[in-house]
Structure 1
């Protein structure tokens, strides 16, 4: 299996605050990898380091075999990386359809019409302002916008955060569908149960260090260890079709 992402020895700071302490992780082609950990463990900083939003002081990031360390985010995205940030970051003053017109047109299976078919709620609300959407609808819009780049690798940061269980089911079924279609995915998720149900492998961060690296099923079966290491939610949500 060829590596889509190779991050090695990331040492990332915010000013004088040392956040990541030698974080290393990989994502293989067609693989879904979960990144778990308590709030403040360094998950979002890891995503930002990969995307070039916060450049690590030490360590290397390779995407599709190319060294992207220190490259600006648009260069990273142009390689075929989609990023759905925590907090959605949609344009509240634009309509749903206008939000979907923001990404540059790229060749591939994902078009505005195909994402409307994927998310019928967005089709129904295509003329609604982004700021008037529910949290779940905003998450769908954020994912749809990333898909329009036709990425080969998708990074999702806390897609279920703040959503009602029924909407979480819908969002996670979508993630599962993307995986089944061969997309490589790095999933940062507070709900460990959900993430491990979908993932092939998992990493756990604690205070900016990797404290677990292994099969998702192995971690899911060891509830005591998962609680001790991850300190995250285990609420069960049925994401089967």
Structure 2
């Protein structure tokens, strides 16, 4: 029986694009299924009945959801190494990936979409988290060294989406003056050919988030 790999995602979601990038780095053939989160498909609800979120990877009928997907991809398919082989380095990579998801992105999203009174605090908190990432990057080309790895993939929202959010809202978080190393890393990351294949059209994404931010502002 031929191997079946399905990916349920949303075109504008950095979380969906992470999984696509991991699959492309590994050279895995897959079928992408676009979801409408305002009208979730029966298949999405079947494969992720608890959280009902994307991304969901279905491998030969077995679903793997959200944060576990990239590690699963690295363990199942040979070829390009997404996580380091050394157990300690793997643990460190997982730590920084979790740091990005728990400390960087929630504050960034709140800075753009939160209540007006929350935004200034959210900007400061996000700057503090990005400062820690800046220090971790040091002089490395990518977080894992000379090639794109787990932490870079998880940080895709910082590399690409933050710039889109800034243009859509006018709120600036990642500037060269504050974060020169992260800025250089982001340019290096999005310039990769395989990464470019996994990024949504920038102008379309800016228009999409302008509508979202405009709606959020109008409701205040």
Tell me the TM-score normalised to structure 1 length.
Answer: 0.33
Tell me the TM-score normalised to structure 2 length.
Answer: 0.35
Greater relative CO (CA pairs within 8 A, separation 6+):
1
Whichever structure has more helix as a proportion of its residues is 2
Whichever structure has more strand as a proportion of its residues is 1
